[in-house]
Amino acid sequence: MYQFFFRTVLSKLDPEVAHHLAFDAIRFLGNRRVAAALGRTTAPSADLSVSTLGLTFPTPFGVAAGFDKDGEAVLGLGALGFGHVEVGTLTAHSQPGNPKPRLFRLVPDRAVINRMGFNNGGAAEAAERLAHVRRARNRPVLGVNIGKSRVVSVDNAVDDYLTSTRLLAPVADYLVVNVSSPNTPGLRGLQELDRLAPLLAAVKTAAGDTPLLVKIAPDLSDDEVARIAELVVSTGLDGIIATNTTISREGLTTDSAVVEAAGAGGLSGAPLAKRSLEVLRLIRRVVPDSMCVISVGGVFTARDVQERIDAGATLVQGYTAFLYLGPLWARQINRALSALRA
């Protein structure tokens, strides 16, 4: 039924308009009574819980940063069956993001190109909202993803991240330093070790007891991935998220004119699966077994989730398939994972 609705209605709408329509519906599902009733139908039918970061995740599957940028639909997403919700990317300064259009579907590839540019209302506004979310019963685990404000230069990035950290670490179950979006000028340069090391050390100190992870790009070389993984271990971070979107356009089946018309931005979805899995395996060779590694990129099915876990992922996230598979996607993952492990 959703596939029919997607083909006949949603695919005809501007992708960002369609996202906001779906988002409003999901936000409504966060109503306490609605969420309680729905949650009973979307929860795993067997125990899929994972203990990591000093937390218990009811299922290893969660929604990646980018879907709920300001933390407005956390409870609705939890009611749909996601075991954790990573909100953001949030920045110290509110910002509108890049000019529209900035979100494009590549339907033949089950992929999306976005150049949203960290559009969000700012860390202070989100902190107030998330403080209320934290007090809700039966909520999902809450991750908060922070990035550099566009108005701040790369040279002043540390102070900008620290502003967000001090506001958001107290209301987060875990915090993520995003240095890997391709849509903020200069941001990916922060993955260079001489810039990344002092940034992570400073944020770790400011985050206090809140678990801290870093999110990296799939476009790094294998050696760069390994060196960052080593840095994460030596700095005492709690984990790595691999990976963000890619700037590559290799291997796409969508008409090249359509891809070219979409322009710059990060590609997510099925084409990212191979590289995301490779990066996961590279990281797991370097970091201790006890370290939390969250795999994201090209995940569509429960078998995809299980493949990531078998390759060493502690948790798995998805986003793009939500657009293609609809609101019962997390429920389907949870039920199929339960069946695979039976």
| Measured CA distances, 315 to 62, 229, 245, 268 (Å) | 8, 17, 18, 18
Q: Which of 181, 268, 276, 295 is catalytic?
A: 181
Burial grade of 140 (CB within 10 A; 0-12, 13-18, 19 or more) = buried
What residues does 316 pair with on adjacent strands? 61, 295
Q: Is 181 a catalytic residue?
A: yes
CA–CA separation, 266 and 117 (whole Å): 10
Amino acid at 105: R
Amino acid at 286: V
**CB count in 10 Å sphere of residue 329:** 22
C-alpha 19: how far from chain center: 16
Beta strand spans in the chain (E): 50-52, 55-57, 61-63, 84-90, 103-106, 111-114, 141-146, 174-178, 212-216, 239-242, 266-269, 292-296, 315-318
Residues forming the active site: 181
